[in-house]
Structure 1
Amino acid sequence: MATSTETSHEFPFPAPALLAALTDADYLRARLAAVGGAKAELVSHESADGESKAVLKQGVPADKLPSFVRSLVNGDLVIERTERWRAAGEGAVGTVVASVPGAPASINCSLQLRPSGAGAELLSALEVRVSLPFVGGKVEKAIVEQIGKLLDAENTFTLNWLRDQQ
């Protein structure tokens, strides 16, 4: 079984400006520094022909994890995350695939960036799957909740980043 959720964030900037930020190595490094947690780093970044791929590592300190999750992992969590974007029409589509090495969990997210009024809307459809008997659903819900908080923090950072670039 998997746990899914969808979110939407509005930006008062056009979709091309938002896409340019989301695929910029300096932006990604700054975002990781601001909200990436312990041991955050931009592992690799490629951009060519309207497509972009970034591999990131993010950390979650053990003391920030729910107690039942702490009992399942030793120490801090290190999340490996691959973000891909490609231009599509007046917007873009993307994916995020994340994993915790050694953990029976997968996180997949499809992204759609589209014009919305004078700005842009970023839609995220997230699916979390944890293959643990009895507690998998509970862990999935905790992960979805934490990812929701992370997405809110990243979108706030992005909004401020774009404002600062003007």
Structure 2
Amino acid sequence: MATSTETSHEFPFPAPALLAALTDAEYLRARLAAVGGAKAELVSHETTVGGESKAVLKQGVPSDKLPSFVRSLINGDLVIERTERWRQAGEGAVGTVVASVPGAPASINCSLQLRPSAMGAELLSALEVRVSLPFVGGKVEKAIVEQIGRLLDAENTFTLSWLREIS
């Protein structure tokens, strides 16, 4: 079984400006510094000749920020490995995020769509979390979805500030 959710964030900037930020190594490092938690780092970043972008990041979640039942399953802080991919599609872009916790029976997959909107641009996220643990998997999935929702809100707030500063 998996737990899914969808979110949407609006930006008062055109989709190409938002895509440029989301795929920029300097932006990614700054975002990680602001909201990436302990041990956050940009592991790799590349852009292909065709304009596709791939970034591999590590993010930390301190154990004291985890629900108690999750802390009982994991020793210490949580380190998340995350791969973000983007490619232009029409007037916007599509992307994916695949995240994992090494040694944990969990997978996180997210489809992203960036499209023009009346306000400027809209970023849509469709998230699926799967935890393979008997009896408590669904409860852990819901906790992860809640934490990722908070993270996405913080990242989108950071992105808005970043775009305002560089404009």
- Shared fold, TM over 0.5: yes
Moved more, 99-108 or 114-123: 114-123
SS in 2 for 1:17: helix
Aligned to 2:103: 102
Percent same amino acid among aligned pairs? 92
Structure 1 alignment gaps of length 5 or more: none
Cα deviation for residue 117 of structure 1 reads: 1.2
Aligned length: 166
Task: Evaluate the alpha carbon distance shift between residue 118 and residue 138 of structure 1 in structure 2; reply closer, same or farther with a 3 A threshold.
Answer: closer
Moved more, 2-11 or 115-124: 115-124
Spell out, residue by residue over 1:59-93, the C-alpha distance to the aligned partner (whole angstroms, 9 max, x if none).
Answer: 00111110000000000000000000000000000
What TM-score comes out, normalization by structure 2 length? Answer: 0.98
Tell me, yes or no, if the aligned pair for 2:83 and 2:97 is still in contact at 8 Å.
yes
1-structure distance, mates of 2:92, 2:52: 12
Structure 2 alignment gaps of length 5 or more: none
Aligned to 1:13: 13
Spell out, residue by residue over 1:30-54, the C-alpha distance to the aligned partner (whole angstroms, 9 max, x if none).
Answer: 0000000000000000043220000
- Paired residues for 1:65-84 under 5 Å: 65-84=66-85
2-structure distance, mates of 1:30, 1:128: 26
Moved more, 97-106 or 115-124: 115-124
1-structure distance, mates of 2:86, 2:61: 25
Task: Evaluate the alpha carbon distance shift between residue 48 and residue 37 of structure 1 in structure 2; reply closer, same or farther with a 3 A threshold.
Answer: farther
Cα RMSD for the two superposed structures: 0.6
| Structure 1 ranges of 4+ moved more than 3 A | none
Task: Evaluate the alpha carbon distance shift between residue 64 and residue 50 of structure 1 in structure 2; reply closer, same or farther with a 3 A threshold.
Answer: same
Spell out, residue by residue over 1:11-44, the C-alpha distance to the aligned partner (whole angstroms, 9 max, x if none).
Answer: 0000000000000000000000000000000000
2-structure distance, mates of 1:105, 1:92: 27
What TM-score comes out, normalization by structure 1 length? Answer: 0.99
Aligned to 1:24: 24
SS in 2 for 1:48: coil
Cα deviation for residue 118 of structure 1 reads: 4.3
1-structure distance, mates of 2:115, 2:57: 24
Tell me, yes or no, if the aligned pair for 2:42 and 2:57 is still in contact at 8 Å.
yes
